[in-house]
Amino acid sequence: MAFISTGYNPAKPMENRITDIGPKDHNEFYPPVIQKNKGKWSHHEILEPGVLVHVAESGDEVYTVRAGGARLMSTTMINEICDIADKHCNGHVRFTTRNNIEFMVDSKDKVEPLKNDLASRKFDGGSYKFPIGGTGAGITNIVHTQGWIHCHTPATDASGTVKASMDVLFNDFQDMRLPAQLRVSMACCLNMCGAVHCSDIAILGYHRKPPMLDHEYLDKVCEIPLAVSACPTAAIRPSKQVLANGTEVKSVAVKNERCMYCGNCYTMCPSMPLADTVGDGIVLMAGGKVSNRISEPKFSKVVVAFLPNEMPRWPSMTSAITKMVEAYAADANKYERLGDWAERIGWEKFFEKCELEFTHHLIDDFRQQAYMSWRQTTQFKF
Amino acid sequence: MAKHETPLLDQLETGPWPSFVSDLKQQAEKRAKNVEGVEFQIPVDVVEDLLGVLELSYKHGRTHWKHGGIVGVFGYGGGVIGRYCDQPTAFPGVAAFHTMRVNHPAGKYYSTEYLRKLTELWDFRGSGITNMHGATGDIILLGTTTPQLEEIFWTLTHDLGQDLGGSGSNLRTPADCLGQSRCEYACYDTNALVYFLTNEYQDELHRPAFPYKFKFKLDGCPNCCVASIARSDMSFIGTWRDDIRIDQDAVNKYVENDPAYPANAGAFRGSKDWGPFDIEKEVTGLCPTKCMKFANKKLTIDNSNCTRCMHCINVMPRALKIGKDTGLSILCGAKAPILDGAQMGSLLVPFVEVNPDNDYEEITEIIENVWDWWMEEGKNRERLGELIMRQGFQRLLEATGIEAQPQHVSYPRTNPYIFWKEDEVEGGWERDVEEYRKHHQR
Amino acid sequence: MSDLLDNVEDATKAVVDFLKEKSKNKTKFYLNDFYKIFPDDKPRAIKKVVNRMVETGELEFWSSGSTTMYGLKGAGIQHSSENEE
């Protein structure tokens, strides 16, 4: 494994350096039918789950076959996507904001061969590589964060919870039986680098224990003022500590009751780890949306305060999600998003119909906004 | 033979949804065989060690990663996230496992020629594991060592014509929906505007400029497919201010349940039978402003009362089209809940034209005014939305020179505690108490 | 732009002096910590000057992933784990 240099010279980093050139120009990547008809599309139609046609004013058509994919993807998979795109789509492909892969062809006769090719590809373990679906009044791919594969503050895994969820929701990925689209999102800690706070159903990793303090090493591996200032709730202060061997060291103290378990201190200071086998788990939220359609965009609400991490398939979590989806599918009106449905029937009925337990943790007590969520009327349902 | 036993992860290989475990395993095997004779610049068994450390997390229920302070390549304040394994002896292949963010193209369109160059580079100098794509939109290259960072950047910029994305207190990689490239609802060319803004603000994207992160997201219409209204400090959402265009013949095709005119463009073609389409129940009756009616085979819309929610257009796309006088609305301050709770974007500019001919001057002027205010007044790690909350929406209007209008609020304030400025009150605040006492005893 | 910020040498010295003076307590600083050194200048102008000091080698960036900080090159705790002490 000899080091092979590109020509970069560490002693003179600015030599022949190219910077600030930005992304590739999308015009280089458009399929010809897209380039030609851009801004002149007449209408579209979902022909069946996962297959769309867009019709241009010129009469041109572009057929899109949408396939789900794990966003954690190897170069082997990407090269396979390229093989498919080369074979069927003249070397063009796109991804959606929800990690789906879209293969586009410019005539109807090219659709079936493409579909058959995609559907035939499976991993050795048995799962589909390119399941077709994710359109219309169904469940599309879950957007998510890194989790245990690569993040330092996750309270759960992302890829695993998503795989487990999509396996139980798979029929709805390939169907369009729901009252409206249902968006599921996943973020593996409350920092929500994938903002899931406006999703029909949100899976959120959550810690429940304040950081541990590795006093012996803290001052050696961390800058104490940075650890102190990292805390959003000002729960950390500098403090002298006496070790078991009697040595006095500089360290920090944490006011545990102020801690919101965000892990920001651990980011600044590796001597303050907070991950915990039983402390960490899953929060489920529901009823959010971003579309302005019919009703205004709205935030998701916490509907399950905590579920334990149950590796590798999180059965309690997938069961709660399934209950929500089935209750919604059975009871909501056509075009009604999950949150619109919950508001129409009332959240008290939501818990009843979804067979979810309401607990005191679901009553907001965080800062001023909490008041807005309490019931200030005599109108409620028994 | 796998390097590490992974009994827990193995259980994620079954089931229909694409298994990331199967994918990681095929990648590990491909590296081990190395048929193409790649001179791997990071350990050949990196993916096996990644599987191993992930299995350990599944066993422990805890992460095994630590943060690293590496920020980027020389001169950049973002684009790289440093990552170290906390079990480097057991999993040496992933002891250092940094992420690089690569700025994705508008609309996430690719040529296979480009993707193959990228995978070739990433097999050579990295783990070969990616995210397509990260939550902000970038292509994420997941896992390489420190000495490779500059080399990868060199190849990206010199051979692929490709730059890194943002992280840290920078402008984050702006993201868009596919817009007019393939959507009849798009009110402006999101791809062109996102490309322009990304290039215009390269300095802000690569080098820290702000109190905290700052995100642009661009949605072509109020359906908000990229969630700009919930996820970006400044969201640009397409809209129009003239009339919805109606094709009455097509409306009647929907009413007659013509199979070529399925409700909601076929979105309900699933296993549930919702019965025949009913325009009153499904369109006019659900219109949030009740500004439309269907009588005598004619659909009429009182456009002055339409809030452009897109519902009727979504249901009958062959009959109803967005208006012709299009532009975008700008909303400010959306963010995820941490710390003071989630915020949705608040409407700052109801309508602005999208004009590439003058380099989108009206839009960039608003952006720069907002930035100047936030850079002056924002506390460390305070998002724009939090500054607006702390100092008030009126300060945002002052900073951007925008006149208050009723569109700015859902409803006017419910308290009378108005902090008048001295120059707003006739005669100011300086008064003569002696003069007052001539008429009022002490 | 103030004369101080406009003069590369003076501005560099002012920033370096400020960081050295504070280095006993901590070694990483936010952009707005530098605003105090140049009270008459716009943040945008200050940002350009300190970012240039990274390219000329006086300063270096440190990032938490969500925020970026500045420090004197090589200052503070540089290693990433206990084994590297």
Query: Is B74 close to C31, i.e. CB distance below 8 A?
Result: no
Subunit contact A230:C65, Cβ cutoff 8 A: no
- Spans in chain A with pLDDT lower than 50: none
Tell me whether C74 touches chain B (CB under 8 Å). no
- The pTM for the full model equals 0.96
How far apart (Å, rounded) are the C-alpha atoms in residues A104 and B110?
12
CB atoms within 10 A of CB A53: 17
Which of C26, C55, C79 shows the shortest C-beta gap to A223? Answer: C26
Q: Which of C68, C80, C83 sits opposite B208 (nearest CB)?
A: C68
Q: Do C64 and B168 touch (CB under 8 A)?
A: yes
Tell which residue, A276, A261, A278, has the closest CA to residue B62. A276
Long-range contact list for C6-12, CB < 8 A, 24+ apart?
C8/C49, C11/C38, C11/C49, C12/C53, C12/C56, C12/C58
For chains A and B, count residue pairs whose Cβ atoms are closer than 8 Å. Answer: 439
Radius of gyration of chain C, Cα coordinates, nearest whole angstrom: 13
A240-to-A29, A224, B230 alpha-carbon distances in Å: 59, 11, 43
- Alpha carbons A200 and A184: distance in angstroms, whole number: 6
* Section B191-199 average pLDDT: 98
**Cβ separation B168–C81 shorter than 8 A:** no
Q: What is the pLDDT of residue B1?
A: 66
What's residue A367's pLDDT?
81
| Type of residue at B417 | Y
- Which residues in B lie closer than 8 A to residue A94 (C-beta atoms)? 107-110, 178
**C73 in contact with B, Cβ within 8 Å:** no
Of A128, A147, A192, the CB nearest to B337: A192
Residue of A nearest to C75 (CA): A223
Residue numbers in A near B202 (CB within 8 A): 20-22
Q: Which of C56, A27, A8, A11 is nearest to B158 (CA)?
A: A8
Which tokens go with A346? Answer: 């009332």
As a residue count, chain B comes to: 442
Q: Do A221 and C76 touch (CB under 8 A)?
A: no
**Which residues have CB under 8 Å from B367's CB, separation 6+?**
B197, B201, B234
Rg (CA), chain A: 25
Angstroms from A373 CA to nearest CA on chain C: 30
A278-329 per-position pLDDT tens digit: 999 999 999 999 999 999 999 999 999 999 999 999 999 999 999 999 999 9
- Report C:46-85 residues touching A (Cβ under 8 A): 55, 64-66, 76-77, 79, 81-82, 85
Distance (Å) from the alpha carbon of B272 to chain A's nearest alpha carbon: 5
Which one is the CATH code of C3-73: 3.20.20.70, 3.40.630.40, 3.20.20.100, 1.10.10.10?
A: 1.10.10.10
The residue to which tokens 């968006």 are assigned: A183
φ/ψ bin of A318: left (φ > 0), alpha (ψ from -120 to 50), beta (otherwise): alpha
pLDDT at position A324, please? Answer: 98
DSSP B188: S
Closest CA in chain A for residue C69: A226
Q: Which amino acid is at B281?
A: K
**ipTM confidence score:** 0.96
Which residue out of B94, B207, B374 would a mutagenesis test of the C interface target, given it has the greatest number of C Cβ atoms within 10 Å?
B207
Chain-chain contact of C31 with B82 (C-beta, under 8 angstroms): no
Say how many Å lie between the first and final Cα of chain C, rounded: 43
Give yes or no for residue B223 having a pLDDT over 90.
Answer: yes
B323 inside 8 A of chain C by CB: no
Q: Closest by alpha carbon to A263, among A151, A159, A143, A364?
A: A151
Interface check for C68 against chain B (CB to CB < 8 A): the answer is yes
Peptide bond into B337 cis (omega under 30): no
Phi, psi torsion values for A170, nearest 5 degrees: -55, -40
pLDDT tens digits along C47-83: 999 999 999 999 999 888 888 999 999 887 765 554 4
Percent pLDDT > 90 in chain B is 96
Residue B2 has pLDDT above 70, yes or no: yes
Q: Which residues contact A95 (CB under 8 A, 6 or more apart)?
A: A101, A102, B108, B110, B132, B133
Angle at CA B305, nearest 5°, toward B294 and B262? 40
Mean pLDDT value of segment B388-392: 96
* Mean pLDDT, residues B177-193 taken together: 98
pLDDT band of residue C24 (cuts 50, 70, 90) is: confident
How far away is chain B from the Cα of A98, in angstroms, using its nearest Cα? 9
Neighbours of B424 (CB within 10 A): 9
Query: B 410-439 residues with CB below 8 A of A?
Result: none
- Residue A74 and residue A159 in contact, taking contact as beta carbons nearer than 8 Å: no
Alpha-carbon distance of A77 to B118, in angstroms, equals 13
Residue B297: per-residue pLDDT: 97
DSSP for B329-361 reads EEEE--B-STTT--B--EEEEEEE---GGGTTH
Residue of B334, B363, B352, B349 whose CA lies nearest to B407: B349
Q: Which residues of B255-276 are buried (b: 16+ CB within 10 A; e: fewer)?
A: beeeeebbbbbbbbbbeeebee
As a three-state string, the secondary structure of C12-53 is HHHHHHHHHHHCCCCCCECHHHHHHCCCCCCHHHHHHHHHHH
Contact B210 C31 (CB under 8 A): yes
Considering Cα of B345, then B348, then B351, then B352, what sign does the dihedral take?
A: negative
pLDDT category of residue C85 using cuts at 50, 70 and 90: very low
How much is the pLDDT for C84? 44
Min CA distance, A4 vs chain C (Å)? Answer: 25
Nearest-by-CA chain C residue for A268: C64
How close are the terminal C-alpha atoms of chain A, in Å?
70
DSSP designation for B73? S
On average, the pLDDT of chain B sits at 96
> Mind listing the pLDDT tens digit for each residue in B65-77?
998 877 789 999 9
Domain ranges of chain C: 3-73
Query: How does C59-78 read in b/e, with b if 16+ C-beta sit within 10 Å?
Result: bbbbbbbbbbbbbbeebbbe
| Chain A positions in Cβ-Cβ contact with residue C76 (cut-off 8 Å) | 223
Q: Please judge whether B208 and C42 are an interchain contact, meaning their C-beta atoms are less than 8 angstroms apart.
A: no
Omega prior to B133 cis, within 30 of 0: yes
Rounded to a whole number of angstroms, the distance from the CA of C66 to the nearest CA of chain B is 4
Enumerate residues 6+ apart whose C-beta is below 8 A from B42: B93, B125, B126, B127, B143, B144, B145, B148
Q: Which residue in C has a C-alpha nearest to residue A11's C-alpha?
A: C57
H/E element, B230: helix B228-231
Dmax (CA) for chain C in angstroms is 47
Among C63, C64, C66, C77, most B C-beta atoms within 10 A, so best to mutate, is C63
Chain B interface includes C57 (CB < 8 A): no
Please tell me the distance in Å from A157's CA to the nearest CA on chain C: 19
Touching B: C residues 2-21, CB under 8 Å: none
For chain A, list the contacting chains (3+ Cβ pairs, <8 Å). B, C
Name the DSSP letter for residue B378. P
Q: Which of B163, B229, B288 sits opposite A22 (nearest CB)?
A: B163
Please indicate if any CB of chain B lies within 8 Å of the CB of C61. yes
Query: Which pLDDT belongs to residue C26?
Result: 86
Whether B24 sits inside 8 A of A99 (CB atoms) is no
Centroid of chain to Cα A44 = 27
A191/C76 touch (CB, cutoff 8 Å), yes or no: no
